[in-house]
């Protein structure tokens, strides 16, 4: 089976990235521009969009921004019709697991209904558009018994995970029922300097950086006794692209294959700045989730066999890169 489609020599391929304003949107835009794509990116209201991630990867002026509300079918259909993409990447929707307990309706609507609207709009325009859906390892729930593969059943433990499981099943159904080239990437945690503070990795790294610079503060965290497979986001967007170059659409687990504890992440981050984390971290029970995943572990071997994709960056390198970026921002007053 040939893994890669060859680009046309004359017309650049068009990609539509829904939810371009986040970490993955920025890195994916950069990747696709480098591959010669014409890139359109959506956000709910592009007039108010800061686009700091796009600027950080040097792609702000080269992506064509479009306002689109993915939970509004009219808006989605209009965007697909006007941009006429060859490939659609669905990265839109509420992305915080913690916040999904506070905003369950917005979470379900933006993820599940948003994905359904995109699938329906693509079906409606009846063009051979390839569709990537950002799935999540959160769908597996706890994987204490065995590393999760594409065959592992879902046991979601948050409104976010329930929404992602619904979107995943919709994509599989549209692939089976209508022969659509639609795939879900079941991505485990992937981090970078573009992560907002809402996610634990950036919260830790920036706090350690401030403390190292003389800040008089303690870092408050919820459950330290969790394990995750943390990878490097710029590598993960390449896996997304590879999925859409396959002759046959399928779903893939994307991860490093190694899980470590949050305590290891904290200790490595503080050690980067020459600090002992135990002196600076406090437990805050208000940061505990109503239900959480204790152990998340992945088996990404299918992606290596079929997509030729393998994570190269270790969690320790992720920490080092994030710490360097935080330090550079501090020195430049950012």
Q: Is 150 in the active site?
A: no
**Site mask, ligand F7E, residues 215-244, x = CB under 6 A?**
------xxx--x-x----------------
Give least dist CB 80 to ligand F7E, A: 24
Strand pairing class (190-191; 260-261): unpaired
The backbone torsions φ and ψ at residue 121, rounded to the nearest 5 degrees and listed phi first, read -65, -40
By CB under 6 A, tell whether 95 contacts ligand F7E: yes
Give least dist CB 40 to ligand F7E, A: 23
Secondary structure (3-state) at 12: coil
Give least dist CB 209 to ligand F7E, A: 16
Give least dist CB 204 to ligand F7E, A: 8
By CB under 6 A, tell whether 104 contacts ligand F7E: no
Give the bridge partners for 42, in sequence order.
18, 66
Task: Please give the Cα distance from 216 to 281 (Å, whole number).
Answer: 12
Contact 305, 252 (CB under 8 A): no
The backbone torsions φ and ψ at residue 18, rounded to the nearest 5 degrees and listed phi first, read -90, 120
By CB under 6 A, tell whether 138 contacts ligand F7E: yes
Residue closer to ligand F7E (CB basis): 205 or 249: 205
Query: Residue 107 belongs to what H/E stretch?
Result: helix 104-108
By CB under 6 A, tell whether 136 contacts ligand F7E: yes
Strand pairing class (227-228; 260-261): antiparallel
One residue of 72, 120, 238, 292 binding ligand F7E per CB under 6 A? 292
Contact 22, 95 (CB under 8 A): yes
Q: Is 138 in the active site?
A: yes
Question: Which residues here bind ligand F7E, judged by CB under 6 A?
Answer: 95, 97-98, 136-138, 188-189, 198-201, 203, 221-223, 226, 228, 262, 287, 289, 292-293
């Amino acid at each position: 089976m040939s893994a890669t489609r060859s680009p046309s020599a004359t017309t650049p391929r068009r990609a539509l990235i829904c939810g371009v304003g986040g970490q993955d949107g920025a890195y994916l835009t950069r990747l696709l521009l480098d591959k010669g794509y014409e890139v359109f990116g959506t956000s709910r209201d592009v007039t108010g969009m800061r686009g700091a991630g796009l600027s950080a990867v040097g792609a702000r002026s080269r992506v064509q921004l479009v306002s689109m509300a993915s939970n509004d079918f009219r808006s989605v259909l209009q965007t697909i019709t006007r941009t006429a993409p060859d490939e659609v990447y669905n990265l839109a929707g509420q992305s915080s697991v913690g916040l999904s307990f506070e905003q369950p309706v917005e979470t379900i609507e933006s993820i599940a209904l948003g994905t359904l609207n995109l699938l329906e709009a693509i079906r409606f325009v009846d063009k051979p558009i390839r569709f990537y859906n950002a799935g999540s390892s959160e769908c597996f729930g706890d994987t204490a018994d065995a590393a999760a593969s594409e065959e592992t059943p879902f046991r979601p433990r948050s409104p976010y995970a329930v929404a992602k499981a619904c979107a995943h099943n919709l994509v599989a159904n549209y692939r089976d029922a209508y022969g659509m080239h639609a795939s879900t990437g079941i991505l485990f945690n992937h981090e970078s300097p573009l992560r907002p503070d809402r996610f634990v990795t950036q919260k830790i790294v920036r706090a350690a950086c401030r403390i190292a610079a003389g800040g008089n503060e303690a870092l408050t965290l919820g459950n330290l006794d969790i394990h995750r497979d943390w990878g490097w986001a710029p590598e993960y967007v390449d896996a997304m692209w590879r999925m859409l170059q396959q002759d046959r659409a399928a779903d893939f687990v994307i991860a490093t294959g190694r899980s470590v504890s949050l305590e290891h992440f904290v200790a490595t981050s503080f050690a980067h700045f020459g600090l002992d984390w135990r002196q600076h971290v406090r437990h805050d029970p208000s940061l505990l989730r109503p239900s959480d995943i204790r152990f998340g572990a992945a088996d990404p071997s299918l992606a290596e066999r079929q997509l030729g994709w393998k994570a190269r960056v270790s969690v320790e390198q992720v920490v080092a890169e994030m710490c360097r970026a935080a330090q550079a921002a501090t020195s430049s007053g950012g």
